[in-house]
Structure 1
Amino acid sequence: MLHGEIEISAFLKARRAALDPAEVGLPDGVGRRRVRGLRREEVAQLAGISVDYYTRIEQGRAPAVSDSVLDAVARALRLSDGEVAYLRNIAVPRRRPAEGAGDCCLPLPAQTVRPEIRRLLAAMAPTVGAVVLGRGLDILAWNTTGGRLSWDIETLAPERRNTALLVFLEPASRERYPDWENKAEEIVGNLRAESGRHPDDPRICEVVHELLDRSPEFRRLWAAQGVHECLRGTKRVRHPAVGELTVTFESFRLPVDPEQVLVTYTAPAGSVSEDRLRELAAGTAVPAGSVP
Structure 2
Amino acid sequence: MHAIARQRPARPRSDKPQRLHPETRALLDVFEASLRPAFVLGRRLDVLAHNRLAGLLIADFEGMPVSERNQARFVFLDPHARDLYADWGQVAADTAAMLCMDAGDHPDNPALGRLVGELAIHSPDF
Please state which band the TM-score falls in when normalised by the shorter chain: 0.7 to 0.9
Q: Which of 105, 110, 115 is the equivalent residue of 2:22? A: 115
Structure number with higher strand proportion: 1
What amino acid is aligned across from residue 198 of structure 1 in structure 2?
Answer: H
1:66 to 1:178, Cα distance in 2 relative to 1, 3 A? farther
- Whole-angstrom CA distance in 1 between matches of 2:108 and 2:32: 35
Cα distance, 1:200 vs. partner?
2.1
Secondary structure in 2 aligned to 1:200?
coil
Aligned length: 120
- As a proportion of its length, which structure holds more helix? 2
Backbone CA RMSD of aligned residues: 2.4
1:149, distance to aligned residue in structure 2 (A): 2.5
> Is the 2:46–2:70 contact (alpha carbons within 8 Å) kept by the matching residues of 1?
yes
How is 1:168-187 mapped onto 2 (pairs within 5 angstroms)?
A: 168-187=76-95
Please give the secondary structure, in 2, of the residue aligned with 1:132: strand
Go from structure 1 to structure 2 and tell me whether the alpha carbon gap of 1:107 and 1:180 turns closer, same or farther (over 3 Å shift): closer
Describe the shift of the 1:212–1:119 C-alpha distance in structure 2 as closer, same or farther (beyond 3 A).
same
Give secondary structure in 2 for the equivalent of 1:140.
Answer: strand
- Counterpart of 1:204? 112
Cα distance in structure 2, aligned partners of 1:66 and 1:128? 47
Q: Which sections of structure 2, spanning at least 5 residues, go unmatched?
A: none
Larger Rg: 1
The equivalent position to 2:66 in structure 1, one of 158, 180, 190, is: 158
Aligned-residue sequence identity (percent) comes to 38
Q: Is the 8 A contact 2:54 2:60 kept in 1?
A: no
Q: What residue in structure 2 maps to residue 132 of structure 1?
A: 40
2:14 touches 2:106 (CA, 8 Å); kept in 1? no
Please state how far the C-alpha of 1:208 moved relative to its aligned partner. Answer: 0.7
Q: Which letter does structure 1 place at the counterpart of 2:17?
A: A
1:108 partner SS? coil
Deviation at 1:65, TM superposition (A): 9.7
Contact in 2 for aligned 1:138/1:163 (Cα 8 Å): yes
Shift of 1:132: 1.1
Structure 1 residue 123, shift from structure 2 partner: 2.3
CA–CA separation in structure 1 for the residues paired with 2:72 and 2:14: 20
Distance 1:212 1:118, change over 3 A: same
- SS of structure 2 residue aligned to 1:172: helix
Scaled by the length of structure 2, the TM-score of the pair is: 0.81
Can you list the C-alpha shifts for 1:173-192, whole angstroms capped at 9, x where unaligned?
21222211111111011110
TM-score, normalising length: structure 1: 0.38
Q: Secondary structure at the match of 1:217?
A: coil
Please give the secondary structure, in 2, of the residue aligned with 1:125: helix
> What's the offset of the Cα at 1:107?
7.3
* Cα distance, 1:209 vs structure 2: 1.1
* Cα distance between partner residues in 2 of 1:190 and 1:65: 31
1:149 aligns with 2:57: yes
CA distance in 1, matches of 2:80, 2:57: 14
The alpha carbon displacement at 1:116 in A equals 2.2
The letter of the residue matching 2:55 is: G
Deviation at 1:169, TM superposition (A): 0.6
For structure 1, which runs of at least 5 residues remain unmatched after alignment?
A: 1-63, 68-91, 97-105, 219-292
Distance 1:176 1:123 in 2: 24
